[in-house]
Amino acid sequence: MSYRRRASPLHAARAAAAVCWCTALALATILAGNPLVLASLGAGVLLAGALAGVWRALRQALLLAAVMALTICVINALVTRQGLTVIWRFGDLPLLGQINVTLEATVYGALLGMRAATLLLLGALYSACVDPDAVLALFGRFSFRSALSASIATRMLPLLARDSRRLADAQRTRPGAAVGRVALLRASTAGVLDRALDVAATLEVRGYALAGARRRSGAGPLSRHDLAFSASAVVVLTCSGLGAVLGWAPFSAYPQLRMAAGLRVAALSLLLVLAALAPFADRRGVSP
Amino acid sequence: MSLISVSGLRYAYPGAAVAALDGVELEIEPGEFVLVAGGSGSGKSTLLRAISGLVPHFHGGTFAGHVRVAGDDTREHGPGQLARHVGTLFQDPESQIVMGTVRAELAFALENRGLPRAEVARTVEETALALALDGLLERPTAELSGGELQRVALGASVVGRPAVVCLDEPTSQLDPVAGDELIALLRRLNEEQDLTVVLAEHRLERCLPAADRVLALGHGRVSFDGEPAQFLRWALREAPELSTPGARLLHGLGLEPQTAVKAARASLRAAGVLAAAGESRAAQDAPAAEARKAGAEGGGGRARRGDLLATFSRPAAGKPSHRAEQPALALEGVWHELRDGPAILRGASLRLLAGERVALMGRNGAGKSTLLRHAAGLMEPTRGRLRAAGRVALMLQNPGDYLVHDSVAAEAPRGALERFGLSELAARHPRELSGGERQRLALAIVLGEGAGGAPPPAVVCLDEPTRGMDRAAKQGLAELLCGLDAAVLVATHDTEFAAAFAGRVALMADGAVIADAPAAELLRGGIYFSTETARILDGLGGVLVAEQALELLRGSEVLL
């Protein structure tokens, strides 16, 4: 997944506003305890991806997110011994002892999985919509070198993945017995070090050593999209915070499932989704 | 005062027994375009790195003498500080891009200097316009082609308006079109902005016309320093491996060597060896017919010349086997379409008979590497058929990817090492080998002679095997390929190398083979996909290399 400037309000917003919006959605996802609210947030992220024109990137992440959510759900159901409603008895298993799968553990596992999946999708949305160079400039004000290291490490990942594929292809074309894994690991490590040296040399000749002299650049005027996503972040964060503190959407899994599914929960879910997606309604000045 | 002053420079990399630079003395004046020539390991890259301050600050090692750039001694100023005066461009474009978009990449060096935002923005725009990068400014660097990346890297090197730019084989990974564009761009920057250029290259025939001065290095010393025309005279005498095909052609005819194709043609015309422009083009269009006609007339110089033309026009397709018409490799309408992506191969068709040697040429992104990968079974066609008469050995672009053991002996069986002239290096670590030696070792590995009972390959495919190789190493590789019994298919940008080994050339564009003809036919008349000799002779007789041309021209009694 890599960033590419597209004609969307989220791409048009400055990095600071986009980062705040993504962070607000991530915090709302972490705070949301009710499966309905969480499901709404997940759907909101997917819709945001579609409105930002990065549906393809999110679709790829969705598969991974689904596998991850299912894995978390199954593991939680198998290892948690809480809950009163037994839905499956495995009996005594060697090493693991008696395994009873309860409805409560399964639902709570699904909730955990859904939360992890939503966060993963949000990460994918961030990668596809927020300019890493702008983020570097944003965080570079505080620690340029750390931000640059993080930025280069992110950029190097696909490059190193390509190098690894190349090495693997070379070994596939090698006749005779397969090369040992240790030798391959050593060669792969040497390749990574070579790449790192090359990049380090490039940084040197581009004056990275002088980076301490960087000036703090002016931020420029706020665009309508900067304002919209900042406002959206504030609303999302406030609503989810209030919802958590005031218990607008209570949910408890153990010992028995107790979940509110009334008007208040629906209103909170709808409010969060609308607040998150509202900035996408204004498409003026979104072209790169 | 000189812009660059090097005095008594001796330098050895950490742990190296031999000095990479050994007593280099030179001065470079502002505005010069200096071409640094020399074989692999001659010290070209090290000299450039000494000018940019990477030697010794980045690489360490033992350093003696002084290098001064715009008055700054590199002993006291590191590469970061020297970056104000020196822009540096390396060989591999992928390792030189550190930011996510072209605009950020260009701005990076300026921001490091702490320039005001407005000045950064203005300079980035101006540089992008000067280098025709304005259309790429918002593009993610991860999506750029090799040629575009190298142009962006050049932009990032010169954006800070350095006094000098040092380039280490910047065209080695580019196709002939992108390579020529880069050299022309450098010449323009040199002429319009008075930018001093120090360019290390192996493909001298492409760069000499742009250069004001040539430095030849050998064993870490300056063995020649002078004008390009003088350099060619010196190279023909003292270092033939550095001479260009055009120079060898003119010298062989007793003429003064010339650096540019136009001047070489003029020289041949003045000597009466080549006809006026219109006549020679008319002659190139029907060499075979002329040969037939000459043969019918019988005898005389004209007839002899006709025979020669026919000889060179004939497809010299290696040693094709006449064991029926069973091809060693056949691709029939092969497609490779990516899911949610473009079609990389679009109905590519190609047939190779046993013993044939074919060069696969085309621009970066034309589909050459993908075709080779299909041939070797690394990729499956989404449509079309592919048949091979036996094992297909494939050597990918980077020979280092094959070298995973601690010693050369552990990489390939003894017999294979002997055959490829590597037995004396058996105890060495593969990473200590030169580019040419690595290439031969990788070839020994993929051919797999004696490796776990692998059958000898029916087809040998090589992907860009000459990247970064000097002429001697290329010659060695061409001879090695000519000695193989298997059909050989080589993807290459190097027209001189293709002419040296291939009997046939297949030209690819946009995923398809758009031309497939004898090398003498396909490489004789083009601008980019043509050898220097063919360009000088304007395609006369389908002659591609200087030695063939001399044979032709000396043998003809009646010259065009």
Q: Which tens digit of pLDDT belongs to each residue from A187-206?
A: 888 888 888 888 889 988 98
Could you say which residues from 184 to 203 on chain A have a Cβ atom under 8 Å away from some Cβ of chain B? Answer: 184, 186-187, 190-191, 195, 198-203
**C-alpha distances out from residue B362 to A32, A104, B205, B206, B512, Å:** 57, 63, 20, 17, 10
B498 and B536 co-located in one domain: no
| Residue B305 sits in the same domain as residue B363 | no
The candidate with the shortest Cα–Cα distance to B331, out of B345, B344, B317, is B345
Domain presence at residue B511: yes
Residues B274 and B358 in one domain: no
CB B223 within 8 A of CB B217: yes
The pLDDT value given to residue A160: 80
Verify that B378 and B518 share a domain, yes or no: yes
Tokens of B283: 């002659």
Q: Is the pLDDT of residue A212 over 90?
A: no
**pLDDT tens digits for B216-237?**
999 999 999 999 999 999 999 9
pLDDT at B281: 52
| Across A267-276, average pLDDT | 95
Chain A residues within an 8 Å CB radius of B14: none
| DSSP-assigned states of every residue in B10-39 | EEE-TT-SS-SEEEEEEEE-TT-EEEEE--
| Rounded distance between C-alpha atoms, residue B325 and residue B322, angstroms | 7
Cis, peptide link before residue A175, omega less than 30° from 0: no
Q: Where are the beta strands (DSSP E) in B157-212?
A: 164-168, 196-200
Nearest in space to B142 (alpha carbons), one of B94, B78, B71: B94
Q: How far apart are CA A187 and CA A163, in angstroms?
A: 11
DSSP letter for B502, please.
-
Nearest beta carbon to residue A205 from set B83, B143, B445: B83
The strands making up B21-28's β-sheet, listed across from edge to edge, are B21-28, B4-12, B62-69, B72-73
For position B288, what pLDDT does the model report? 41
The pairing of strands B4-12 and B392-395 is unpaired
In chain B, the number of structural domains is: 3
Q: What is the C-alpha separation between B402 and B443, in angstroms, rounded?
A: 9
- Residue B256 pLDDT: 93
The verdict on B116 and B217 lying in the same domain is yes
Domain boundaries along the sequence of chain A: 1-288
Pair (B342, B491) in one structural domain: yes
| Residue from the list A155, A198, A288 with its beta carbon closest to the beta carbon of B100 | A155
Do strands B164-168 and B196-200 pair parallel, antiparallel, or not at all (unpaired)? parallel
Q: Is residue B321 part of a domain?
A: no
Looking at chain A, how many residues does it have?
Answer: 288
Torsion of CA A69, A73, A75, A77, to 10 degrees: 180
Contact A172 B378 (CB under 8 A): yes
Q: Determine the Cα–Cα distance for residues B105 and B107; give it in Å rounded to an integer.
A: 5
Residue A100 has pLDDT above 90, yes or no: no
pLDDT, chain A, mean: 88
| Phi/psi at A132 (5° precision) | -65, -30
* Interval A106-128: pLDDT, tens: 999 999 999 999 999 999 999 89
Q: Which residues of chain B have pLDDT under 50?
A: 286-318, 321-323, 557-560
Q: Which helix (H) or strand (E) holds A84?
A: none
Domain that includes residue B202, residue range? 4-242
- Examine residue B319 and state whether it is found in any structural domain, yes or no: no
- B223: helix, coil or strand? strand
End-to-end CA distance of chain B: 51
* B478 and B354, same domain (yes or no): yes
* Residues B539, B524 share a domain: no
Same domain, B233 and B275: no
Give the Cα-Cα-Cα angle B466, B469, B472 (nearest 5 degrees): 110
Closest by Cα among A171, A262, A235 to A25? A235
Choose among A110, A117, A65, A116: nearest CA to A259. Answer: A110
Q: Which of residues 109-138 of B touch A (CB under 8 A)?
A: 109, 111-117, 120, 138
Taking contacts as CB-CB distances below 8 angstroms, the residues of chain B near A169 are 373, 378, 396, 401
On whether both B79 and B16 belong to a single domain, the answer is: yes
Lowest mean pLDDT of A52-61, A161-170, B181-190, name the range. Answer: A161-170
List CB contacts (< 8 A) between A201 and chain B: 54, 58, 90
> Would you say B271 and B251 are in contact if contact means Cβ atoms under 8 Å apart?
no
In sign, the C-alpha dihedral spanning A265, A268, A271, A276 is: negative
**Which amino acid would we find at residue B544?**
L
Rg (CA), chain B: 25
**Domain stop point among B224, B242, B260:** B242
Question: Quick check: bond before A255 cis, omega within 30?
Answer: yes
Residue B354 is part of a domain; what is its CATH number? 3.40.50.300
Structure tokens at A159: 């490059």
For residue B547, give the nearest of B266, B246, B208, B256 by alpha carbon: B246
* A279 CA: distance to closest CA in chain B (Å): 23
Q: How much of chain A, in percent, has pLDDT values that exceed 90?
A: 48
- What CA–CA distance (Å, rounded) separates B515 from A180? 43
> Do residues B219 and B278 both lie within one domain?
no
Distance (Å, rounded) from C-alpha A146 to C-alpha A151?
Answer: 9
What is the reported pLDDT for B322? 47
Q: Which residue has the tokens 């079974």?
A: B377
User: Residue length, chain B?
Assistant: 560
Return contacts of B379-382, CB within 8 angstroms, 24+ apart: B379/B336, B381/B334, B381/B335, B381/B336, B381/B345, B382/B335, B382/B336, B382/B337
Q: How far apart are the first and last CA of chain A?
A: 19
Residues B80 and B102 in one domain: yes
Residues B201 and B44: beta-carbon distance below 8 Å: no
A217 CB neighbours in chain B (<8 A) are 111, 117, 120
